[in-house]
């Protein structure tokens, strides 16, 4: 049976794990860049309505801001001040 002391021990950082995740992220990013039709993407952006793009970006950042307010109030309720 494990005691609470065992569960609070910190383990050594694993550099190979970080390297593995970094390599996987680089491969995924490379595949996305390689497989993207850049001309088609540019054409789609040129054909779109700028007002819709600006509106979507504003809604996205509004959601991020609201999420920040939520986490701020949750942290304050726990007595954590930043």
- % of the chain beyond a pLDDT of 70: 85
Which pLDDT belongs to residue 15? Answer: 78
Which residue ranges make up each domain of the chain?
4-77
Grade residue 74 by pLDDT with cuts at 50, 70 and 90: very high
Write the CB contacts of 53 (distance below 8 Å, at least 6 apart in sequence): 45
pLDDT reading at 32 higher than 90: yes
DSSP 8-state symbol, 48: S
Q: Is 70 helix (H, G, I), strand (E, B) or coil?
A: helix
The CA–CA distances, whole Å, from 56 to 33, 49, 61, 64 equal 23, 11, 9, 13
């Amino acid at each position: 049976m494990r005691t609470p002391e065992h569960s609070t021990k910190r383990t050594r950082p694993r550099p190979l794990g970080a390297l593995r995740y970094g390599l996987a992220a680089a491969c995924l990013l490379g595949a996305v860049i390689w497989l993207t039709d850049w001309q088609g993407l540019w054409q789609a952006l040129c054909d779109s309505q700028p007002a819709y793009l600006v509106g979507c970006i504003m809604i996205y950042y509004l959601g991020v801001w609201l999420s920040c307010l939520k986490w701020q109030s949750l942290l304050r309720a726990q007595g954590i001040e930043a």
